[in-house]
Amino acid sequence: MQEQLLYFVQQLLNGLTIGSTYALIAIGYTMVYGIIGMINFAHGEVYMIGTYVAFIVIAGLTYLGLESLPLVFLAALLVSMMVAATYGFTIERVAYRPLRGGPRLLALISAIGMSIFLQNFVRLAQGSRDIAMPSLVTGGWTFGSPDTFEASLSYMQVIIFIVTLVTMGALTLFITKSKWGRACRSCSQDLGMTNLLGINTNNIIALTFVVGAALAAVAGLLLGMYYGVVNPYIGFIAGLKAFTAAVLGGIGSIPGAMLGGILLGTTEAMTSAYFSSEYKDVVAFGLLILVLLFRPSGLLGKPEVEKI
């Protein structure tokens, strides 16, 4: 009995780890959708670029002889967030702003093109092979006896939880308390009206892209350190999963993206645990279809009122 419980806890922890990083990436999708109603398909690639930058910074600092792990981690976090934010800003400027006001389909095609461009750009610059990095954070806690079943929680998983929680907390504070956050919320309610009230909505939209990209870079650093591997193709699957998480939770809603990410991660882990890992995507996307059937705007999404 205790063995079963430990097994369940272990799989729950596995699911929460992967789910919290889905959530971090999903926020980028949901914020952009909430404000300008388009899906930024290049977001997964920004996550991938964040991972590459983090790897380069970590490798560079270690090469220069910097041993202190917290310093390396902080430096990698800051640099990858900054670089990713620059990418987010530039993508918006180059690929989306010139098309604003046009049919939505144009922006969507532009987003897909941007995604293909970034993927191939990184492939040419960095090569298409897996780049691996040794684990920086090793070890962890174990529960239970080795004879029956031993659940483990690695320090890296704990770091992922903590960083994700802190980041989400900071984002929530930013959105609810700050002046810019208020402008963001106002934009998502009525872009035209916000503009009339004297807020430069172009800046707010750019800000949304910058914040979303920086969060994707946080996820990139965390998952890069956790798995230790990066290649130019990781952005596609990660982006797809995060997009699913955003839709599941209700696209446009930030708490929804968090909930959706966690839900998707745990569903995948539990399916692998009690059924078969072959079916984890089937069950995860089946869940999405079910949710959309009964709540078309997602779990926490507001039903969209048709504007005439």
User: Which positions lie near other proteins, rule CB under 8 A?
Assistant: 3, 7, 10-11, 14-15, 17-18, 123, 128-130, 132, 134-135, 138, 140, 142, 149-150, 152, 154, 156, 223, 227-229, 231, 233-234, 237, 268-273, 276-278, 280-281
| Backbone torsions φ then ψ of 135, nearest 5 degrees | -65, 130
CB of 273 to other proteins, least distance (A): 5
Q: Which two tokens stand for residue 118?
A: 């970034």
CB of 276 to other proteins, least distance (A): 5
Q: Which residues are CB-neighbours of 252 under 8 A, at least 6 positions away?
A: 30, 33, 34, 188, 301, 302
CB of 88 to other proteins, least distance (A): 23
| Backbone torsions φ then ψ of 143, nearest 5 degrees | -125, 150
Nearer to other proteins, 36 or 216 (CB): 216
Which helix (H) or strand (E) segment holds residue 4: the answer is helix 2-36
Rounded to whole angstroms, the Cα distance separating 209 from 86 reads 9
Q: Which residues are CB-neighbours of 77 under 8 A, at least 6 positions away?
A: 54, 217, 218, 221
Nearer to other proteins, 270 or 299 (CB): 270
Nearer to other proteins, 199 or 221 (CB): 221
Nearer to other proteins, 203 or 276 (CB): 276
Cβ count near 278 (within 10 Å):
9
CB of 156 to other proteins, least distance (A): 8
Task: Using DSSP, state whether 41 is helix, strand or coil.
Answer: coil
**DSSP 8-state symbol, 301:** P
Amino acid code (one letter) for 50 = G
Nearer to other proteins, 33 or 226 (CB): 226
Q: Which residue has the tokens 């959309």?
A: 292
CB of 23 to other proteins, least distance (A): 15
Nearer to other proteins, 70 or 134 (CB): 134
Q: What share of the chain is helix, strand, coil (3-state, %, to 5)?
A: 75, 5, 20
Amino acid code (one letter) for 220 = G
Nearer to other proteins, 66 or 237 (CB): 237
Q: Which residues are CB-neighbours of 167 under 8 A, at least 6 positions away?
A: 24, 215, 218
Residue 222 and residue 58 in contact, taking contact as beta carbons nearer than 8 Å: no
Nearer to other proteins, 58 or 269 (CB): 269
Rounded to whole angstroms, the Cα distance separating 212 from 253 reads 13
